Structure 1
Amino acid sequence: MTTNANDGNATVAPALSEAPATIDSKQVLAWGLWDWGSAAFNAVVTTFVFTVYLTSEAFGQEAAVSAQLGWALAGAGLLIALLAPVTGQRSDSAGRRKFWLAINTYIVVAITAGMFFVQPDPSFLWLGLLLVAAGNVFFEFAGVNYNAMLAQVSTPKTIGRVSGVGWGLGYLGGIVLLLIVYFGLIQPDVGIFGITGEGAMDVRVTVLVSAIWFGLFALPVLLSVPEYEGVGARRAKVGFIASYPRLFSDIRKLWNESRQTVYFLLASAVFRDGLAGVFTFGGVLAAGWFGFSPGEVIIFAIGANVVAGISTITVGLLDDKLGAKPVIVGSLIGLVVAGLAVFFLHDGGAIMFWIFGLALCLFVGPAQSASRSFLARLIPAGREGEVFGLYATTGRAVSFLAPTAFALFITIGGEQYWGILGIILVIFIGLLLLLPVQAKQERLR
């Protein structure tokens, strides 16, 4: 689920010290509904339906096609790394954050709808890979602006729970959408409107439904949350190329003022990419190695989203009381243990994947949500928006790590399940980078 980019003297969102004294529940709900709608891309496209379809035997040998998917997403990650740092910065400098959230969101909607044309034939594989990769790029650009709005809809004392509500709504939205497409299109021999599995029409119509879903639920935040007005909107505009020197200057300034914040940005960039890899390749592994049918993958997805949604919202409440770093560390350790269990017990069949796959989902959401709230409390006063931009920038700058590691370990091991080790390695490295990061506990409460 998210991301951000920005510049040194600008404020990507009102500083927490300048946030409203109380939250506007309508704005929080409108903001969270974007996450609810984004399940159409996260759950259906990149995790449990379309990527599973792309890595099926209809497009070639499973391990080879899975590796190609990994390389395509790695390429998308590199493109994000080159462009995300300045796309968010420039939207903030222009005071048009919501405008660019809308543009990028509806590009993703159009790309998702375009997946309808990917027919079950090897000749359509590269079209499918291109659309998934492009969708990831623009989805992350949209997330740059969406994440920055967190400080606009929360207060210093509620940012943990508001962040958790957003992530939680994303998972819960995934449940509802997956139930709709499973019982309406994929599970029955003849679904709504007489749609069948012939020519993979059930999957292809599913992505059309997902496009409509995202498009509708993205509207509330665009209609209810005011356009960003802050320091960044008053900065002098510079050309696209000149945005890069400005970005480096901003990072250097942050390094001098709050080095621990920079350390956290680097650590979180790594482990967040591993978290994204868990969901991106979870459905692929369920279908490819553990023998789940398309319908069983969706049933697993529903269970995964229930577990992730409940744990994320619950831990969001603990986040405000106990601090975010213990939540992140505990979640990452849980992910490493559960991931290793999936790898070493890969011959145990579907039951092992159900047990330890759901264990993975138990920890992913809390780690994502607490990471966002941890940073919000660590940032020097008055620099919250700016650093949320860098949070997105650093995260997407390494977004090629998990896909590359997944593809590389499959290549090394020769079997699809070896990709699990690549994802776990990325998470473990992120954990090691996080442990030395210091933060005053009073800032975390």
Structure 2
Amino acid sequence: MTGDAVGTVAHSAPGQHTREQRAWYFYDWANSAYVTTTATVLMAPYLTSVATAAACPDLAEGASCTQTLDVVGVPIDPGSLFAYTATVSTVISAIVLIVVGGIADRSPHPTRMLAGFAWLGAIAASLMFFVLGTNWQLGVVLLIVANLALGSSLVIYDSLLVRIAVPDDRDRVSSRGWGFGYLGGGILLALNFLLDIFHAKLGLDRATSTRVSLLSAGMWWGGFTLIPVLGLRHVAGTLATPVERTKGVVAGSFAQLADTFRELRLFPQTMLFLLAYLFFNDGIQTVIGNSSLYGIEELQFSQQTVLGVFLFVQFVAFGGSVLFGRIAGRIGAWRTVLWSLGVWTLIVVVAFFVPAKSLVLFVALALFIGLVLGGSQALSRSLYSQLIPRGREAEFFSLYQAMERGTSWFGTLTFGLVHQFTHSYRWAIVALVVFFVVGGLILSRVRMREGILAAGNEVPAIV
């Protein structure tokens, strides 16, 4: 397929299920295994246990480690190692991803770049199998590499949405991608959950079963990436302004990066949407990242119960993504996201009042989280795709990803500070209302039609 053929794909009839769209869905399916099994559930407690063993080798069971790790001359509490590692990878990502986007827009083969970053991340994720004993340093390096590779691949992946779907079809395509991600991540997490339950009967200790699960996430990510790489291999040819030959792709991309920041102010509705997204997405990420902590520490459920509920959320989120895509087709993605933020606000308020050990209410809360989780994020992606100038997709999506990562600590900082002063996770969770309210108010002021036309894009039938 030539560059002209790519244009044909991007302007196919709305609702058409193209091969490119089906292949595109599977990258969500592939990388969500790492996001769910490794980054969200297993790596934090496992890396902490390895770091604790290094700092306190003779620690008695049930006792607290009072020693620290020496990290380039800085004493680090082993219990904080994962959080600091995530922070470092976040800061690096915020800088690197913008450059990656500029290069991707000027690459004649963006799918090859997607493959390179995806397989680099998958290799790093698979090598986490070898993190054992007291070798926390290897875990830190691999986690940073995997997270950076994931973010870089997602910049290119998100930008391809514009090339495989017309404006009227993007809400559906984006929602299905998120749905596939929750389904794929949920399936592997369920298998690893069973491995954790029956590890003793299989002749494995808990650490070995965890390492096998980490390996499975990396292999799943790398293996299923073959589907989008092969299916999207013809979606090629740069849409961006050609780079001067004297500058080259990399130098030209750095020069274009400066132009991006200067030009962003020419798109006030795009800037306003980004500001709204930074608030409400931070709230979403903080709720998800601390929901297991809330369930265990505040509602007093066992870890297995909370993991079971987390699995439930994964599969509900699959249906929620599809449902929200259909709702957006009727009332528009902008209104649908606004309504979802109202539901998120209600969720954190209700969470404040859920009594301890009330499993029915906890599951009901999880049901609503699952319904709005995928839809609100998927439709935000498709909304943003309408507000960026054509030919600059990866560059502007890198800004979207980088700004998300660069500010995604506001919510967790708020959560932590409120808990520190109140000694209550209930007040910490309800404090997140401000992120959904402020994000919703800003989003309500975004004039989508004006922003779409200013970016030079076609206005969908229903915005």
Relative to the length of structure 2, the TM-score reads 0.80
Q: CA deviation at 1:423?
A: 5.2
* 1:387-430 Cα shifts (integer Å, max 9, x gaps): 44433343333233334444444444446666535655444443
**Quick check: 1:216 aligned with 2:223?**
yes
Aligned to 1:6: none
**Quick check: 1:90 aligned with 2:97?**
no
Q: Tell me, in whole angstroms, the C-alpha distance in 2 between the residues paired with 1:232 and 1:220.
A: 26
**Letter of the 2:85 counterpart:** A
Q: CA deviation at 1:384?
A: 5.4
Q: Tell me, in whole angstroms, the C-alpha distance in 2 between the residues paired with 1:313 and 1:61.
A: 45
Q: CA deviation at 1:18?
A: 5.2
| CA distance 1:205–1:380, change in 2 (3 Å) | closer
| CA distance 1:274–1:54, change in 2 (3 Å) | farther
- 3-state SS, counterpart of residue 157 of structure 1: helix
Q: Tell me, in whole angstroms, the C-alpha distance in 2 between the residues paired with 1:369 and 1:78.
A: 24
Aligned runs of 1:91-240 on 2, under 5 Å? 91-119=104-132, 123=134, 128=139, 131-183=142-194, 185-190=195-200, 194-196=202-204, 198-225=205-232, 226-232=234-240, 234-236=242-244, 237=247
Aligned runs of 1:356-371 on 2, under 5 Å? 356-371=365-380
Of residues 37, 43, 51 in structure 1, which corresponds to 2:36?
Answer: 43
Q: CA deviation at 1:189?
A: 4.7
**Letter of the 1:217 counterpart:** F
**Letter of the 2:18 counterpart:** S
Q: CA deviation at 1:218?
A: 0.9
Q: Tell me, in whole angstroms, the C-alpha distance in 2 between the residues paired with 1:426 and 1:85.
A: 25
Aligned runs of 1:299-310 on 2, under 5 Å? 299-310=308-319
8 Å contact kept, 1:48–1:297: no
Q: Tell me, in whole angstroms, the C-alpha distance in 2 between the residues paired with 1:82 and 1:412.
A: 33
Q: Tell me, in whole angstroms, the C-alpha distance in 2 between the residues paired with 1:250 and 1:124.
A: 42
| CA distance 1:110–1:277, change in 2 (3 Å) | farther
Q: Which runs of 5+ in 2 are unaligned?
A: 1-5, 53-62, 66-76, 451-458
**Letter of the 2:27 counterpart:** W
8 Å contact kept, 1:27–1:153: yes
Q: CA deviation at 1:49?
A: 3.1
8 Å contact kept, 2:9–2:165: no
Aligned to 1:9: none
Q: CA deviation at 1:299?
A: 1.8
**Letter of the 1:78 counterpart:** V
- 3-state SS, counterpart of residue 216 of structure 1: helix
**Letter of the 1:223 counterpart:** L
8 Å contact kept, 1:49–1:294: no
Of residues 387, 397, 400 in structure 1, which corresponds to 2:406?
Answer: 397
Aligned to 2:263: 253
Q: CA deviation at 1:163?
A: 0.6
Aligned runs of 1:401-420 on 2, under 5 Å? 401-414=410-423, 420=429
Query: How many pairs does the alignment contain?
Result: 425
**Quick check: 1:20 aligned with 2:31?**
no
**Letter of the 1:43 counterpart:** T
Q: Tell me, in whole angstroms, the C-alpha distance in 2 between the residues paired with 1:306 and 1:54.
A: 27
Aligned to 2:272: 263
Q: Which runs of 5+ in 1 are unaligned?
A: 1-13
**Letter of the 2:323 counterpart:** T
Relative to the length of structure 1, the TM-score reads 0.82
**Greater relative contact order (Cα < 8 A, sep 6+):** 1
CA RMSD between the two structures: 3.4
- 3-state SS, counterpart of residue 358 of structure 1: helix
**Letter of the 2:146 counterpart:** G
Q: Which moved more, 1:421-430 or 1:247-256?
A: 421-430
Q: Which moved more, 1:105-114 or 1:392-401?
A: 392-401
Q: Tell me, in whole angstroms, the C-alpha distance in 2 between the residues paired with 1:438 and 1:273.
A: 22
- 3-state SS, counterpart of residue 364 of structure 1: helix
Q: CA deviation at 1:287?
A: 4.3
**Quick check: 1:374 aligned with 2:383?**
yes
**Letter of the 2:240 counterpart:** G
- 3-state SS, counterpart of residue 442 of structure 2: helix
**Letter of the 2:346 counterpart:** V
